C-alpha cells in the first residue's frame, strides 16, 4: 500500500562544476533528474510511501538512475527494464546574471518515451494500493506511446478510486501549445489536484488577467479540483473546490540551484494534502520545500521533515486567504 | 519474504585519494562499509531479496549509510534509528608495497554496539519470512549488548527454521582470541554455513596443519555445516556435511581496492548456495565475486550478475574435488 | 618565551564541497578546527609567538592536526600524545538561506576530554615564559577531567603572573546553562580579558537589557577585566576597567565560511592588546580579523598582517566611544 | 594544401574517475573521441597539416568537440554545423583484470550519421589540396546517409588523385559481418593503405591461418595497397605491393588507457608513409605512437614528435623483414 | 586575410579553487590569460578571423597556451617558438569583500619580453592581410626588446594601411607612470581606436575633471581616433572623431570572475566597429561582452554570438548620446 | 640545539593529476619540493631536531613553502625573507613506460639563487648548536652568489666543529660537468659524509669500473669520509674510513612517485648515522626510507618512524659486508 504512485521520465543531468561552460571543462557533475521522480523523492523523504514507475534501459546508466532514486527510499522495484532505447540526458551550464543558465536536452529516443500501456503493472492499480497517482504533462509530450501510457495510467487510477494530481509542466521543446492544450483539456476535468505555473496557463489557454482571474478560469473549467498556480517570485496561489482563493508568498532563499523548484513545490504540497491539511497549509508546505530545494545542488528536493517543518512553522511568509 | 536477512554494524570509511597519506590531504573519499551490509549488497545485486538489520544514529551520516545500501536494492526499512550514540568511522590510507594499507578505526560507542535484543523486529523472525540469516563474528565482539543481540537473532532464526551462515570475521582490535573462541564454540555447532580465513581458525583454535587438516577439524566440530576456509592467494577450500573436500583457486585480479574481498566471497558463495548449487560451484561463485570486488573501489561488491556469471563460466580456475 | 599559550580541544571538520548535503556526496573536505587553536593560528600569523597545548591521539589524524596548526607557525611541540581515545570530529553541511548550515558533532570520548592536570607541562608555567594564557569555556564543558585541567592551567598561569583571557564560548550541546554559569562564576573574577557573545551572557546569567546594560553587569562582576561582548551583525562592544564603554561595528563582509569568526575576533583583539593598543583599537583589530575570516574557507583565520592592518586603517567602521 | 584530410564521427566519452563504476560516481571525466579525429590529432601533433571533416550539432557539446580537436592544430573550419540531431556519446567504465573495461554506446541519431554527400565541401576535393584521405569503416556502418557520404568522399578523393587509407575498424554493434564484408569488398580494391586488426579480417572474410596467411589473402585481393594487420600483443605486420612481409613487435607499455591505440597506430604509420619512409619504418612509427598512447589518458594520441622519434630510434623492438 | 591581428604576452594563471588561499590548497586551477589573446579569443568567438602573435617557449606550457587559444578558433600558427626563456605565470587568490582578490605576478624573463622586431612575420604586414592590429600598453612595458617589437608592429601595420587599436592597459608593476606617459604620447596620435580606464588616463596624464573632461582632453590630443574610457561601475564613455560623446552603462552582472573584463570589452567593441556599427552601438557590444565575461571563470571571454546579441538587444541599459 | 641544519633551494612542483599531460589538464597538484628540505622533513619525521635554511620571496608562495615544511616539524624560523626575486617552480608530467616522466624546470632567478653569505645566520654556526650540516651540490650550481653562500656555510660548520654531509646531486641542467668537478674537488676532502649516484661519480670524475672500483677511488680521494654510492635498482654501497665496503639491496617497492627517492635515502642514512649506527645499518635505513618514499605522492619522505623501523627490521634485503 503506497501513499503515492508516480509515473514519468527521468534523465541524467550533466553539469560543469563551478559555473564553467561546457567548453571550459573536462569534468561533469552527474545528477538524476526527472519531474515525477523528483516529486517522489521529496514525498519519500517527508515520510510517505512512494512508488515510481518508468521505463529504463537496462545498463549502468539505468541502474545509476534507480540507485539514486531508490537510495532516498522510493520504491523502484516496478520500473520496466528494456535492452532497447536509451536513458535521456540533459546538459546544464549554470549561469549567473546576465548569463542565464543554459539547458541542452538530449532526451529523444529514450526508453520512457517508448513505454506502452501494457508496460504498466496492472496489478498495482487496484483500490487501496495507493492514495494518489501523480502525473505531469511531460509524459504525454514525449510521443504517442508515452501519451497512451499516460492515458492508461490516468484511467486505471481513477478506476481504482485513487486521486490524481496533474502538474501541467509545459515543455515548449517537446510539443506545441496547441498540442498541449488539447491534452490538458482532456485530463483537467478529471484531475483532483492541478498545478501549473501561471505563465503556462495563460499561454496555453490564452487567458488574460492576474492570478485571481486565471485561478477563476481554472476553477470554472475544473470545479472538482484544487487548482494551484505557481507565480515565481510572487509565490503561489490556489483555489479549492469551495472557490476560495489563497496566496502564499515565497520563503526568501539564496539560490544555489534553481532547477527542480517546481517539483519540490509539488512534493511539499502533496505531502501536506495527503496528511489532511487544508489548502493554505499545503501551499505553505509547497513553498517551504521549494525554498529549501533552491539551496540544494541537483534537481531533487533532498530535504528533511524537521527542516521543512521548522520553516513552515517559522513566523515569516504565512499563507493568507485572499478574499 | 526475503532470501536473506543480515545483521551487523556498518561504518563510514574515509580514504585520501590517490595513495596520499592523511597528513597530505584535505580531501577524503567517503564510502559505506560493513561486513554484513557488504554481503547484503552483493546478494541484492545478484538478484536476491535481502534485508539488512542494524542500529543507526538518526542523523545525516546515518541516512547517508542507508541511502548507499538501499540504493543497491537492499531493504533498509527495518533499521533501528536512535538519537543517541554515533556512526562509527574508519580511516584507510591505501598503500603499496612496502607501505601497507593503514586502517585506523574510530568505531567505539557506535549505535550498533548498543543495539539490544529487544531492538530486533520480532515479527520478522517467523517461518518463511527468510531463507537464511547471515551473521558475522564482528557483532558479538562489539560489546555485551551487541553480543546479546547477536545471540537473540541467532536463536530467533533457528527457531523460525531459517538457515544461519556465520562468517567468523575475527577482529583482533575488538576482542581477544580467547573471547572469540568462547563465542565461536557456542555458535559453530548450530551454524549451517561457516566461513573463516584459515589463519584465523588456526590462531583462534590452536589448530595445526594445512587447509585439509583445519577443514577436518572444523568438520568434526560442526559436522552439520558447510565449512569454508578462505586461503588468501591460495583461493578457498570447503568441506560439506558429506566430508568431501573441495578447493577453488583465486581468479587472477589486479587489485584496485582489496578491502571487502571476504564479504564479496560470502555474497557469491551464499548466492550460489541459495540457488541450489553444490559446494564447488558455490566456491567458484565466491571466488568470482571476490575477484571482481578487488577491482572495484570501496568495500561493497558492486557487481552485476552477468559479469559474475561470465567469470564463473570462464575456462580458468575451476574448482576441483580434492580427495 | 611565548607571547601567548593556549589550551583546548581541536576537532577534524568534514564538509561536503559546493553546498552539497552529506547524503549527496562521496567527497569530504577536511579542516582542522578548534576554538583555541584557531586563536593560536591567528595570533601566530599576526606575528606573535604562540604555544598550543592539547592532548591528541598518536595516529595519522592526530598528526594531521598538528601539521596544519604547526604549519602556521604555532609551537605544537608540547602537545601530549596518547595511544588512547580519539580525535573528535564534526560534520558541517554548509547551507544558504533558508537552509541553515548544519553542524553534527562527533566529539565525545576525545583525547582532550580525558586530559588531566598532570598532563600540563609544569615547567612551562613559570614567570616570563608567556605573557598570556588564552582559555575558552569549551574545555571545562568537555567533562570532569578536562575541567580539572582547565582549573589547573588557570591557576598555574595566574601564579606565574601571566594574564588570562577567557572566551566563554558556551556550547549548549556540551553542558547545561546552570553548569556553565557555575563554572563561569568561578573564573570570571580572576580573568583579565573576558569575551562572550551577548546572547550567551544574557542566557547564562539571566541578564536583561541592551549591550550597555549587559556590559555594566559584567563590569560589576569583574571590574578587574576588559570585558568584550560580540554582537553579531551589530559588531562588538567592550568595557575596560575604567568603566568606559566602546563600540565597534562590523566590517562588511561577504561570507564564504562563517565558522570561526569568534575565534578570529579573539585573535585580532588579543594581538592588539598585547602590542599595547587601547581597547577601542583592539576591538577594531578583532572586527577586522573576523571580517577577513568570513571570506576564508575553514575555521582558521589564515590572515596576513598587512591585510588586517589595511582594513584596520581603512576609513570605514571606526570604533567609537559610547558615553 | 593539407597533408591529410579525414572524415568521420566523433563522440563525447564520459568516464568515472579512478576505476569507479558509473553507479559509484557523481563525477565524470569528459573526452573527445573519434577514430578519424584521433588520427587527425596524432598527425597534426607530429607536424602534418590536417583537416577533419564531420557533421556536428551546433551547440555547446559540438563546440566542445571542435575546440578540443582544433586545439591540437587540426583544421576544423570545414565541419558542417546543423541545428538538428545530436552529438553521440559513449560511457566507459575502466576496468582491470578480471573486470574488463565496459563500453556503453549512446551514439544513435548523431549528426554525423545523418551527413549527406552534398555536405562534403566539393571545392576541397581537388588535385593538390591534400595528399591523402583517411577513412574508417565506422562511417559506412552509421547508416545509409553516412555510407553514401563515405562513398562520395572516397570517389572524390580518388578522382582528385589523392591516396586513400582505409582502416576497416569493424564495429559489431553497428552492423553485421555480412554488411561489413559487402562494404569492404567494394572499397578495398581502390584503397592505397589498408589497416585492420587481424581478428576482424579473419572474422569478416572467413580467412584461416596465421598473420602471414591473412596478409597474403589481403595482398591477393588488393595487390595495389600496403596492407597492415595489427596483432594486439604480437605487434603489427604488413605487406606492401612488392609482396614483401614485415613484422613489428610492440613497444612495451604500461597501460593507463588502452582506448585509441589503433588510431594512434594509424597516425604513426601514416605520418611515416607520408614522409617517405618504407613500410617497416612506418610500422615502427605506428607501434611507437600506439605505445605512447597507452600511457596517455583519453582517446587521442597527445604525443610529441621528439618523444616518438626517441622511441622509434631506441634499440629495442626493431621491425624485421619476415621472409 | 584576417579581420584582426593581435600581438602580446600571455601568461598561465594559477588559482586555488573555491576561494581558498594558496596556503590552504594543494590544487590549482590553470587558465591561459593574456590581454591581447583574451581579445583575440573574444573576437574569434564572435565570428571574426583573428591571428595572435607572440613568442613562447617551446615546451608543454607553451603548447598548453596555444592549444587553449587555438581551441577557440584563433590562428596561432604564427607564434614564434624559442627554446629559451619561460612562459610567465601569475597566481590569483580570489577574494570576497573585505578580502580583495590577490594577484601575484611571476612574469619576468618571459619569452615574450625578449621578442625582437625581427621576430615579427614581415610577410604578414601587407595591405589587405588584416583590417586591424590590436595592441596594448603591456607590451612596451615588458622591456626594451618588447618595446621595440611593439614599435615595429605599430609601424608595419600603419604602413600596410591597417587600423590600429591601442588599449593603454597601464600596469604599475611593470613600469612607472612617467615611462608609460612617454610611450603613450608617442603612439596615441597614430592610433585609430584608443581604450583606457579613466583612472589610468587621469593618473598618467595628470588630467582633472570628469569623464567628459578627460574624453575632451583625449580627443584634443588624438582627434583622429575613437577614444573610449571605461568607467568601472559607471560603464563606458566614448568620443569619436566628430567630437560627439556617448555613454553606455554597465549591464548588471553577478561576478563569478572579474579578471579579463576589460579585454572582453575590447573584444565586443572592436567586433562591433569592424562590422560597421556606430560608436554607441560598439560601446553597447563592449559592455555586453564584459558583463557576460564577469560570469565566466577564467580570463577569456568564452561567449557566444547569440548570447551577446540577445543582451545587446535587451531593453535595459541602452547607450545614450550625451550632449 | 639541532641535530641537523640544512641549507638549500626549494621549489614548487606542479603536476597534472592521473597521468595527464599538461596540455590535457586544467588542474594541477601542488607540492613543495627541494632536495635539502626533503631531507630535513625526513629527519624531522624520524624524530630529530632539524633547521632548514633558505631564502624565499615573502609572498603567498613563499609562505606556502614554509607552512608545508614547518608542518612536518622542521624549524623554518631562520629562513631569510626577501621582497625580491621569486620562488622557483617545476612542472612534472608523470609518465609510465615507454613515456618517461617529464620534468620542466622554471627555477631561474629564484630567491635562493641570490642568497648571499651575509644572509647566513652567523649566530647559528657555533659549536654545539648542531651536530651536522647537510648540503647538496645543487646549491653551488645555482650561481655565484649561492656558491659563495654554500662555501661560507661549509666553512662555518667546519669551524664550529659540526659534521658536514654532502650529497653531490649533480644537475646537468644547472652547470657543466667540469664546473661540478671543480666544485666537488674542493669540498669532498672536507666532507664527513658523501653521497652520490654512482653514475654521476663516474661521469664527473671520469672513473671506470664497478661500484667497488668507484668506491675505492672515492675513498682514496676522501679517506676521512663515509662515502655512499646509490646504485638505482642495485641498491646502495658504502665505504667507511676503515676502507670496508658494504652493500644494501633495495627494498622492493611499487612506485607511486619516484621523485625524491635520493633525498629520502639521505634522510634515512643520516638519521641512522646520527643515532650511532654503523654504516651497514645506516645503509639499511636509507634504503628503507627510500622504498617507502616511492609509495608516497610528492617529493617529501612523509614517513613514520614505526613504519621505517618495521621495514628495517624485516627479514628481507639485509645489508651485507662485501669483502
Contact B26, B285 (CB under 8 A): no
Give the B:C interface size as CB pairs under 8 Å: 69
Give the number of other CB atoms < 10 A from CB of residue F280: 20
**How far separated are the first and last CA of chain C, in Å rounded?**
39
Rounded CA gap, A242 and D2, in Å? 76
Residues 6+ apart with CB under 8 A from E184: E137, E168, E204, E205
- Count Cα neighbours of E245 within 13 Å in the Cβ-side half-sphere: 16
Q: What is the mean pLDDT of residues D85-111?
A: 96
Q: Which CATH class is domain E2-9+35-86+112-322?
A: alpha beta
Candidates D257, D263, D266, D299; catalytic one: D263
Determine how β-strand C55-57 pairs with β-strand C80-82: parallel
Cell of E320: 545614450
Contacts of C252 in chain E (CB under 8 A): 97-98
In this structure, CATH architecture of domain A4-322: 3-Layer(aba) Sandwich (3.40)
- C192: annotated active-site residue: no
- Report the pLDDT value the prediction gives residue E306, as an integer from 0 to 100: 96
Note the pLDDT of residue D321: 62
Distance CA E29, CA C210 (A): 48
Which active-site residues of E does the annotation give? 263
Which chains, if any, share at least 3 CB pairs under 8 A with chain C? A, B, D, E, F
How much is the pLDDT for A320? 62
Closest to B266 measured CA to CA, from B122, B50, B76? B50
- 3-state SS, one letter per residue, for F219-249: HHHCCCCEEEEECHHHCEEEECCCCCEEEEC
* C-alpha to C-alpha distance for E194 and E164, rounded to whole angstroms: 9
From the list F263, F266, F277, F299, the catalytic residue is F263
Chunk chain C into consecutive blocks of 10 residues (it has 323) and report each block's average pLDDT, rounded to whole numbers. 97 97 97 98 98 98 98 98 97 95 96 98 96 98 98 98 98 96 97 97 94 96 96 96 96 95 98 98 98 98 97 74 59
In this predicted structure, what is the pLDDT of residue F318? 56
User: In sequence order, what are the beta bridge partners of F236?
Assistant: F230, F248
| Cα(E169)–Cα(E179) distance, integer angstroms | 13
In terms of Cα–Cα distance, which of F33, F34, F26 is closest to F7? F34
pTM for the complete prediction? 0.95
The tens digit of pLDDT for each residue in D119-175 reads 999 899 999 999 999 999 999 999 999 999 999 999 999 999 999 999 999 999 999
Instruction: List CB contacts (< 8 A) between C97 and chain A.
Output: 252-254, 295
Interface check F17 vs B, CB under 8 A: yes
Cβ–Cβ < 8 Å for B257, B291: no
In Å, how far is D265's CA from the nearest CA of chain A? 25
What's residue F87's pLDDT? 97
Write phi, then psi, for A31 (nearest 5 degrees): -130, 160
Please name every residue paired with C53 in a beta bridge, in sequence order, or none if there are none: C7
Q: Where are the alpha helices (DSSP H) in chain D?
A: 35-46, 60-70, 138-141, 144-159, 177-187, 198-205, 211-221, 261-274, 279-294, 305-313
Note if the bond before E98 is cis, omega within 30 degrees. yes
* Domain C36-55+116-322 annotated CATH 3.40.30.10: no
3-state secondary structure at position E292: helix
CB of B192 closer than 8 Å to CB of B183: no
Residue of A nearest to B304 (CA): A60
- In order of B299, C45, C190, C197, C218, the CA distances from C163 in angstroms are 52, 21, 9, 21, 18
Q: What are phi and psi of B214, to 5 degrees?
A: -65, -40
- 3-state class of B103 per DSSP? strand
User: Chain-centre distance of CA E284, in angstroms?
Assistant: 17
Chain F residues with CB inside 8 Å of B98's CB? 251-253, 288, 291-292, 295, 311, 314
How far apart are alpha carbons E146 and A139 in whole angstroms? Answer: 63
E207-266 residues touching D, CB cutoff 8 A: none
ipTM of predicted assembly, 2 dp:
0.94
Instruction: Tell me how far the alpha carbon of residue A8 is from its chain's centroid.
Output: 9
- pLDDT band at residue A157 using 50, 70 and 90 as cut-offs: very high
Within 10 A of B234 (CB to CB), how many other CB atoms are there?
15
The CATH number of the domain covering residues in F4-8+35-84+116-322? 3.40.1190.20
Q: Could you read off the pLDDT of C66-98 as tens digits, one per residue? A: 999 999 999 999 999 999 999 999 999 999 999
Reply yes or no on domain D4-9+35-87+112-322 having CATH 3.30.70.2190.
no
What is the CA angle E149-E155-E157, rounded to 5? 100
Three cell numbers written together for D155: 570517389
CA–CA gap between residue E298 and residue E285 (Å, rounded): 20
What integer best gives the mean pLDDT of chain F? 96
Helix (H/G/I), strand (E/B), else coil: A17: coil
Nearest to A129 by CA among A191, A75, A65: A75
Q: Which of D16, D19, D23, D26 to mutate to test the interface with C (most CBs of C within 10 A)?
A: D26
Among B251, B302, B314, the residue with its CB nearest the CB of D24 is B302
* Rounded Cα distance, F263 and F286, in Å: 9
Residue A304 DSSP class:
-
- Three-class DSSP category at F119: helix
3-state secondary structure of B107: coil
pLDDT at B247: 97
- Fold of the CATH domain B4-8+35-85+116-322: 3.40.1190
Residue B316's pLDDT band, with cuts at 50, 70 and 90, is low
pLDDT at residue E141 is higher than 60: yes
Q: What percent of chain A has pLDDT over 90?
A: 96
Q: What is the pLDDT of residues C276-305, one digit of tens each?
A: 999 999 999 999 999 999 999 999 999 999
Catalytic positions of B are 263
Cβ proximity of B179 and B186 under 8 Å? no
The three three-digit cell numbers of residue B220, written as one number: 568434526
- pLDDT band at D72; cut points 50, 70, 90: very high
Check CB contact under 8 Å for D71 and E70. yes
What is the mean predicted confidence (pLDDT) over F210-226?
Answer: 95
Query: Residue B17: CB partners within 8 Å, gap ≥ 6?
Result: B25, B27, B28, B29, D18
Give residue-wise pLDDT tens across range B95-131: 999 999 999 999 999 999 999 999 999 899 999 999 9
- Tell whether omega for the bond before D98 is within 30 degrees of 0, i.e. cis: yes
What share of chain B has pLDDT > 70, as a percent?
Answer: 97
Q: From residue C184, how far is each of B48, C199, C201 by CA, in Å?
A: 60, 15, 10
**Cβ distance E55 to E119 under 8 Å?**
yes
Q: How many pairs of residues across B and E have Cβ atoms under 8 Å apart?
A: 5
State the smallest CA–CA distance between residue D27 and chain F in angstroms. Answer: 15
A18 lies within 8 A of chain F by CB: no
Which of A19, A23, A113 to mutate to probe the D interface, most D CBs <10 Å? A23
| E321 pLDDT more than 80 | no
- The predicted pLDDT at position C319 comes to 56
What single string gives the DSSP state of each residue in A166-198?
EE----TTTS-HHHHHHHHHHHGGG-SEEEEEH
Number of H helices, E strands in chain B: 10, 15
Phi/psi region, residue A119 (left: phi>0; alpha: psi -120 to 50; beta: rest), is alpha
Which of A20, A97, A98 has its CB closest to that of E297?
Answer: A20
Amino acid at each position: 500500500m503506497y501513499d503515492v504512485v508516480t509515473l514519468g521520465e527521468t534523465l541524467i543531468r550533466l553539469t560543469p562544476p563551478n559555473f564553467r561552460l561546457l567548453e571550459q571543462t573536462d569534468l561533469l557533475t552527474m545528477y538524476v533528474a526527472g519531474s515525477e521522480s523528483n516529486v517522489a523523492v521529496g514525498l519519500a523523504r517527508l515520510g510517505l510511501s512512494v512508488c515510481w514507475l518508468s521505463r529504463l534501459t537496462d545498463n549502468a546508466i539505468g541502474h545509476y538512475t534507480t540507485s539514486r532514486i531508490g537510495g532516498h527510499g522510493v520504491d523502484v522495484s516496478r520500473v520496466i527494464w528494456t535492452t532497447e532505447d536509451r536513458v535521456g540526458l540533459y546538459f546544464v551550464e549554470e549561469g549567473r546574471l546576465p548569463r542565464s543558465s543554459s539547458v541542452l536536452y538530449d532526451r529523444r529516443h529514450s526508453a520512457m518515451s517508448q513505454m506502452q500501456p501494457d508496460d504498466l503493472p496492472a496489478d498495482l492499480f487496484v483500490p487501496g494500493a495507493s492514495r494518489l497517482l501523480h502525473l505531469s504533462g511531460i509524459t504525454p509530450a514525449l510521443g504517442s506511446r508515452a501519451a497512451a501510457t499516460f492515458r492508461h495510467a490516468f484511467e486505471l487510477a481513477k478506476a481504482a478510486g485513487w486521486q490524481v494530481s496533474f502538474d501541467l509542466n509545459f515543455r515548449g521543446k517537446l510539443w506545441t501549445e496547441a498540442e498541449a492544450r488539447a491534452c490538458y483539456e482532456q485530463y483537467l476535468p478529471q484531475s483532483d489536484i492541478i498545478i501549473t505555473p501561471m505563465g503556462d496557463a495563460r499561454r496555453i489557454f490564452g487567458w488574460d488577467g492576474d492570478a485571481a482571474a486565471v485561478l477563476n478560469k481554472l476553477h470554472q473549467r475544473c470545479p472538482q479540483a484544487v487548482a494551484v498556480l505557481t507565480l515565481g517570485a510572487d509565490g503561489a496561489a490556489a483555489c479549492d473546490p469551495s472557490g476560495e482563493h489563497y496566496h502564499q508568498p515565497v520563503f526568501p532563499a539564496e539560490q544555489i540551484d534553481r532547477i527542480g523548484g517546481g517539483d519540490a513545490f509539488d512534493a511539499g504540497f502533496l505531502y501536506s494534502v495527503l496528511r489532511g491539511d487544508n489548502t493554505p497549509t499545503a501551499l505553505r508546505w509547497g513553498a517551504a520545500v521549494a525554498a529549501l530545494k533552491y539551496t540544494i545542488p541537483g534537481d531533487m528536493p533532498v530535504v528533511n521533515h524537521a527542516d521543512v517543518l521548522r520553516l513552515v512553522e517559522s513566523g515569516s511568509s504565512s499563507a493568507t486567504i485572499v478574499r
